[in-house]
Amino acid sequence: MREIILIKYGEIILKGLNRGKFEDILLRNMRRALLKNSYDEIRVMQAVVYVTPAGGADIDNMVQRLSRVFGILSVARVLVCEKKAEVILEKGCEYVSAALDSCKTFKVEAKRSDKTFELTSPQICAQMGEAILNANPHLEVDVIKPDTIVRVEIRDKEAYVYADAARILGPGGMPTGSGGKATLLLSGGIDSPVAGYMMAKRGVTLDAVHFFSPPYTSEAAKEKVIDLARILARYTGVFSLYIVPFTEQQLAIRDNCPEEHLTLIMRRMMMAVAEKLARQNKDIALITGESLGQVASQTMHALAVTNDAVSIPIFRPLIGMDKEEIISIARKIGTFETSILPYEDCCTVFVPRHPTTRPSLEKILESQAKIPFEKLTEKAFMETTWVKVEG
Ligand code: ATP
Ligand code: MG
């Protein structure tokens, strides 16, 4: 038995004249997601991508990898048949049976790009439908709203048979690399990996930056962030994670600025360092996992004060989401279990007892003037190290 993998993609189809460009990026990302030597060919035909696995390749693993590539709506294993009606009916019917176990109704759809094939499309549907009914007595045909569709495609050299029920859904969205580059502020928490995922899903290429404050934050806390970055990289492909030592800066803020302003001044400095990194990497925006009202530093007043520290856009894809909604995405993408490991974050080591929730920018700037803000920002930037993260 020979199988190929058939991939349908989503929004790219709407791209009109630009479609080819988006398809090229999608194909590049698919090649990157697959193991080298696992496929012989990847080609696009009429908005469908066909991947021919190499002999002996682990097709389940390929399907799993492809189902994480942004832009892809569904991934299906497909039986490749000799172009003879009797072979298609017998082998095809056998092939789709497992997928039909959990269905009550089905219909057959046939597509024939080879018009010389011995059966017409309606004949293929009728005969395949009958063969399936005979082999699966629990099924009924429903042409209006079937539980699944069995598809038979007669191509130039061979025929394909598969059932929609056996498809695995992809994440949808736009292919990573089609939507600009941005720097994700990645903590060890639940929110920021989800924020990175959501922006990458819209085609954004990520760099990431993590601030840590040894000895107040541990080596294990840093490792946890690298683990989270690796999970993200399964979807986005390889990216750079910048690691910023932030102890001196945090201590300077703690020792010199009014307590109720500590968090906001620290967040302004984080943004300022991240902006420098973004500019160095030609990234055009920052991304955070902030959500309106979640904590004192995420009220609208506080976010406005944070924004003032930089002059590039800050994207906050979680801004209107509840924690429960964020958690359900974190579970789906596989970051949740790592995020809830109990390690400290530099944002939580020096927290004021009564942080301001309605800060005025003027007052914060006054407090910030008590430290050499620019100098400390530059120092953190200069001491930043870098790791390459792979999924
Ligand atoms: P998360 O669950 O992602 O940690 P949070 O709800 O704990 O978010 P905060 O700790 O206030 O919220 O952080 C808000 C955002 O600031 C995070 O989503 C992340 O983008 C960024 N951030 C916080 N701590 C760090 C850090 N140590 N390094 C890089 N970015 C950070
Ligand atoms: Mg956090």
- DSSP for 74-120, written as a single string: EEEEEEEE-S-HHHHHHHHHHHHHHHHTT-SEEEEEEEES-TTSSS-
The pLDDT value recorded for residue 345 is 79
Which band of pLDDT confidence, cut at 50, 70 and 90, is reported for residue 47?
confident
Ligand nearest to the CA of 192: 1
**pLDDT score of 208:** 98
Instruction: List Cβ neighbours of 109 (8 Å cut-off, separation of 6 or more).
Output: 125, 149, 150, 151, 152
Q: Could you give phi then psi for residue 184, rounded to 5 degrees? A: -90, 125
Tell me how far the alpha carbon of residue 245 is from its chain's centroid: 28
What is the pTM (predicted TM-score) of this model? 0.91
The confidence score (pLDDT) of residue 46 equals 82
Atom of ligand 1 nearest to the CA of 188: 4
What span, in angstroms and rounded, lies between the C-alpha atoms of 140 and 211? 59
**Distance of CA 178 from the midpoint of ligand 1 (Å):** 26
Ligand 1 atom with least separation from CA of 194: 3
Question: What is the rounded distance in angstroms from the CA atom of residue 253 to the CA atom of residue 262?
Answer: 6
Distance 145 CA to ligand 1 centre (A): 46
| Whether pLDDT at 348 is above 90 | no
Dist. CA 292–CA 330, nearest whole Å: 18
Averaged pLDDT, 107-122: 94
Higher-scoring residue by pLDDT: 377, 155: 377
Q: Is the pLDDT of residue 19 over 90?
A: no
Within a 10 A sphere around the Cβ of 229, how many other Cβ atoms? Answer: 26
The residue count for the chain: 391
Q: Contacts by 349-353 with C-beta closer than 8 Å and gap 24+? A: 349/213, 349/216, 349/217, 349/250, 350/216, 350/250, 350/253, 350/254, 350/262, 350/266, 351/262, 351/263, 352/259, 352/260, 352/261, 352/262, 352/263, 353/259
The span from the CA of 220 to the CA of 226, in Å, is 10
* Whole-number pLDDT of residue 156: 86
Query: By C-alpha distance, which of 70, 156, 83 is closest to 118?
Result: 83
53-110 pLDDT per residue, tens: 999 999 999 999 999 999 999 999 999 999 999 999 999 999 999 999 999 999 999 9
Phi first, then psi: give them for residue 29, nearest 5 degrees: -65, -35
| C-alpha distance from residue 211 to each of 2, 205, 240, 344, 357 (Å) | 50, 20, 14, 12, 23
Q: Which ligand is nearest to the CA of 263?
A: 1
User: Among 184, 187, 307, 350, which is best to mutate for testing ligand 1, by the most ligand atoms less than 8 A from CB?
Assistant: 187
Ligand 1 atom 23 nearest Cα: 187
Provide the mean pLDDT of the chain. 94
| Nearest CA residue ID for atom 6, ligand 1 | 191
Average pLDDT over residues 254-265: 95
Peptide bond into 313 cis (omega under 30): no
Query: How far is 261 from 263, CA to CA, in rounded Å?
Result: 6
Q: Whose alpha carbon is nearest atom 14 of ligand 1? A: 290
pLDDT at 349 over 80: no
Q: Within a 13 Å sphere around the CA of 198, how many CA atoms are in the beta-carbon half?
A: 20
Q: Report the percentage of the chain scoring pLDDT > 90.
A: 87
**Residue whose CA lies nearest to ligand 1 atom number 12:** 290
| Ligand 1 surroundings by CB, under 6 angstroms | 185-187, 189-192, 209-211, 288-290, 294-295, 297, 345-347
- In one-letter notation, the amino acid at residue 46 is Q
Residues with beta carbon < 5 A to ion ligand 2?
A: 187, 189, 345
Give the mutation target among 186, 192, 223, 265 for probing the ligand 1 site: most ligand atoms within 8 A of CB: 192
Which residue's CA lies nearest to atom 7 of ligand 1? 189
